[in-house]
Amino acid sequence: MLNNISHHLGTGILILSALMAAIFTVADVALAQNHWISAFAANAWKLFSFAFVVILYDYTGKRCAGADNCLDRRCVMSADTHHVEKAEETLRAREQELADLSETLARETAERTKAEAAGRQVGRDLEAMLSNIPVLVLMMDPAGRVLFTNGYWIQDGYESAESLIAQLNTDPSVFHHPEDYVTMLERRKSSIAEGSNYYLEHRVRRPDGLFRWFLTRTTVAKDDEGNVVKRYLTSIDIDDRKKAEEALAARERELQLLIDTVPTPIWSLTPDGSISYLNRRFEADFGRTVDGAELQPMGWNEVHPDEKQTAMESLAHSLQTGEPYAMRYRRHTHSGVYRWVDVRAEPLRDEDGRIVRWYGATIDIDDEIRAQEALNAARERLSRASQLATVSELSASIAHELNQPLAAAVTGSEASQRWLLTEPPNIERARATLDRVVRNARSAAEVVGRIHALFTQDTIPRSPTNLNEVIAEVLELMNDLIVSEGVVLEVRLEALPTLLVDGVQIQQVMVNLIRNAIDAMKPLLGQTKSLLIASRPFGKDGAIVEVHDVGEGISNPDRIFEAFFTTKPDGKGLGLAICRSIIDAHGGRLWAELTGARGTVVSFTLPGLDGMSEGAGDQSELFSEGG
């Protein structure tokens, strides 16, 4: 009986020990996650329980071997072995579970340790980032009390984050410009009361004592019920940007002032031709605003009807083709009168060549136009006066041309009277003198006829003429003048071909050239006044005539043939101009050259009979070129 009780007691203790080992094993799992000692204790308990069962089993077997009334030892041993094997299987299963669980716990512990290390690294990175970004960051409670700040201002002057937080919570006014502090408080109180964000540009005193512009943004974090749990503030230094904006605004104001005060109406158009801007001068001159602007359809009513259609078509062409716009027309002004304006516009293009804006100016040119009209009228009056003066000068020239033959006729008439009054009368000398008088009178009449032909543009007939005879006749006509001026005359006339010329006009040329040569030598007091008249063949059946003097010379050999240009104090500036016109009309050439330190030679050529066809009979040029 006692053996059975012992046997069953041992079995019960064995089962209880296995159960307790399992319980302790499961109970210590949580502890094993954090410490290896708990896992060791659980395994040690199992080993102790197992040892206790073995000892108890051995003791029970020994007791049964000495008892008289014990059961068959092999039966008991078999039963006990069965229970032990079963217990061992259970124990091994629990040990495997415990090993698997320990492995899982070890793996999870390693992963948790790695995650905690990564989290700590992220925290360090976040802290470093917040400490080094050029932005002030604050974290506050719902009431606005600062809980955290990054190292932005700590690096710039504050000793620690704690001192900065204490100052922000104690007296934040020291950080703000007095003019901006009230506005900041109002925004802050409103944000706290409403639980909303706010945005503010204000001046903040930096740790170095300088005020700089900052952009402050405050955002709130709320829980699921909508309650504010945290407030976050960031302040970015925008002082450089603010100053740049102020400088740009000042520049824009200056430019706007310049555009508005420039004394020219300035405007701009959109690519389709709609007005987008008018400066103040435009509004002052034309009384228009953007709503009724230049070049819009309603603005064309102010353009003078005579230029309206042309101006509209010109603008449409520029808008379509992109060509610059330029137009002059009369426009109705604010004062109620039409004034001439010069309207110009140029397109502004983007990088792709598309027109993005037209810029133009309306320039008042009315005074200029009227001044031009007045100038044209003055020129017309001057032209008429010049024509009258030309007629007067021409009259003086005609009188000058007629003076020589008429004076010779008068002189011859007086000589004839003296020859007839002598005793006895010298009829032959009187007759010869009267013949010269007749020739001189006819020469004067021919001069008048040639002048009349110039005005009526009649064709003057030319005839074959011996040029040397014309020169000799002129020298005879001017003999009295040559002698009275003390001029030493030298004549070198070579045989010349017959020329087809107007003898009277060639006489006029020779008279002018000889008189100019005599006038050029008048300043030579006490010196020999030499005058050389020479002729010789020139070219093919042509001739050249030269008039040499020993006067002071001329400084402008080319200009002396221009109309109204003269080197004489009492000169008219027509003689040489008429001479050149006559020679040009005959197909020849007239020019002047200096012969050295003193003296001038004036030469002209005349073509032969074959070369006269081109210029023959064209007398209209004589009057136009001669004045």
In DSSP notation, 345-402 reads EEEEE-TTS-EEEEEEEEEE-HHHHHHHHHHHHHHHHHHHHHHHHHHHHHHHHHHHHH
Q: What angle do CA 604, 610, 616 make, to 5 degrees?
A: 65
What's residue 533's pLDDT?
93
Whether pLDDT at 421 is above 50: yes
Q: Could you check whether the bond before residue 424 is cis, i.e. omega within 30 degrees of 0?
A: yes
User: Which residue has better confidence, 181 or 627?
Assistant: 181
What's residue 547's pLDDT?
92
What sign does the CA torsion over 363, 364, 367, 370 have? positive
Q: Which of 374-378, 497-501, 580-584 has the highest mean pLDDT?
A: 497-501
User: Which residue has better confidence, 11 or 490?
Assistant: 490
Q: Which of 361-365, 398-402, 442-446, 588-592 has the lowest mean pLDDT?
A: 398-402
CA–CA separation, 139 and 606 (whole Å): 114
What's residue 492's pLDDT?
92
Q: Which of 182-196, 284-298, 515-529, 605-619 has the lowest mean pLDDT?
A: 284-298
What's residue 603's pLDDT?
92
Whether pLDDT at 574 is above 90: no
pLDDT band for position 70 (cuts 50, 70, 90): very low
Q: What is the mean pLDDT of residues 581-600?
A: 84
User: Which residue has better confidence, 4 or 232?
Assistant: 232
Q: Which DSSP string corresponds to 163-201? A: HHHHHHHH-GGGGB-HHHHHHHHHHHHHHHHHT--EEEE
Whether pLDDT at 22 is above 80: no
- Check for a shared fold between 133-243 and 459-626: no
Cα within 13 Å of Cα(140), Cβ side: 23
Whether pLDDT at 32 is above 50: no
Convert the pLDDT of each residue in 464-504 to its tens digit.
889 999 898 888 878 878 888 888 999 999 998 988 888 87
What's residue 380's pLDDT?
73
Helical (H) or strand (E) element with 329: strand 325-332
Copy the structure tokens of residue 552.
């002071």
Q: Among residues 290, 282, 358, which one has the least CA distance to residue 321?
A: 358
Residues in the chain: 627
| Percent of the chain clearing pLDDT 90 (strictly above) | 6
Domain spanning 459-626, CATH architecture: 2-Layer Sandwich (3.30)
What's residue 386's pLDDT?
53
What's residue 254's pLDDT?
86
Domain spanning 262-362, CATH architecture: 2-Layer Sandwich (3.30)
**pTM reported for the whole predicted model:** 0.38
Q: What is the mean pLDDT of residues 43-53?
A: 58
pLDDT band for position 60 (cuts 50, 70, 90): low
Is 507 buried (19+), middle (13-18) or exposed (0-12) by CB count in 10 A?
Answer: buried
Could you tell me the residue ranges of all domains in the chain?
2-125, 133-243, 262-362, 365-456, 459-626
What's residue 295's pLDDT?
43
Q: What are phi and psi of 458, to 5 degrees?
A: -80, 155
Average pLDDT of the chain is 75
Whether pLDDT at 299 is above 90: no
What's residue 453's pLDDT?
57
Q: For the chain, state the CA radius of gyration.
A: 66
- Considering only the C-alpha atoms of the chain, give the largest distance between any 2 of them, rounded to a whole number of Å: 234
User: Which residue has better confidence, 81 or 267?
Assistant: 267
User: Which residue has better confidence, 174 or 130?
Assistant: 174
What's residue 535's pLDDT?
93
Convert the pLDDT of each residue in 377-399 to its tens digit.
877 776 665 555 555 555 655 66
Q: What is the mean pLDDT of residues 218-246?
A: 89
Whether pLDDT at 620 is above 50: no
Copy the structure tokens of residue 428.
């032959």
| Percent of the chain clearing pLDDT 70 (strictly above) | 68
What's residue 135's pLDDT?
82
Copy the structure tokens of residue 403.
């003076």
Strand partners, 226: none
Domain spanning 133-243, CATH architecture: 2-Layer Sandwich (3.30)
Other CB atoms within a 10 A radius of the CB of residue 349 amount to 13
